[in-house]
Structure 1
């Protein structure tokens, strides 16, 4: 069953994002994933009291296991560390249905 990942990112400084964006997509693809959408501009919360993130990404993977393999992959860790040094991120995963 396919699985999805949503990442809400909160960052004041996005100077690190170019390096992250240049290297992480091929790691995501290695685990069968792809970007569905990554915000490139301001995010607006139109309902509820969710803090406004500076960025949102949605991703599709073949399974939850594939998501966890990506998140824990040795080659991803330097970029996860980079992201975590410069932002706070909330990541949610869930199963998809056709």
Structure 2
């Protein structure tokens, strides 16, 4: 099953995001290699700067998706003001569909 992980950064935390980016990208690369990460990237603010994240993850259950998301170095660093995880049905342009 797929899950959308929608994260909003705490205001004024761009420096923390940039400092934590290398381990975050390493973590995403590991998920990608394992076939868990389907889509990933940042949300952008009005100035084009990252202000949140969206991931589409493959997991067996909502609890499993939550456990995966909790391992994100951004989450561990306290970057996010909010995290929402919801089941997702990839209907259009799904290369596996």
Same fold flag (TM > 0.5) = yes
The C-alpha deviation readout for 1:5-37, integer Å capped at 9, x for no partner, is 000122224212122111112213434225533
Which residue among 24, 30, 55 is the counterpart of 1:59?
55
Higher strand share: 2
How far has the Cα of 1:96 moved from its partner? 1.1
State whether structure 2 residue 17 is matched by structure 1 residue 28: no
- Answer whether contact 2:66 2:85 (CA < 8 A) is retained: no
CA RMSD, Structure 1 to Structure 2 (Å): 2.7
Look up the match of 2:95: none
Q: Gapped runs of 5+ residues in structure 2?
A: 92-97
- Residue correspondences, number: 82
Task: Give the TM-score, by structure 2 length.
Answer: 0.61
Which residue among 81, 88, 96 is the counterpart of 1:89?
81
Look up the match of 2:68: 70
- Answer whether contact 1:38 1:58 (CA < 8 A) is retained: yes
Moved over 6 A (4+): none
The C-alpha deviation readout for 1:69-91, integer Å capped at 9, x for no partner, is 32344xx46x5342x2xx55110
Q: Gapped runs of 5+ residues in structure 1?
A: 44-53
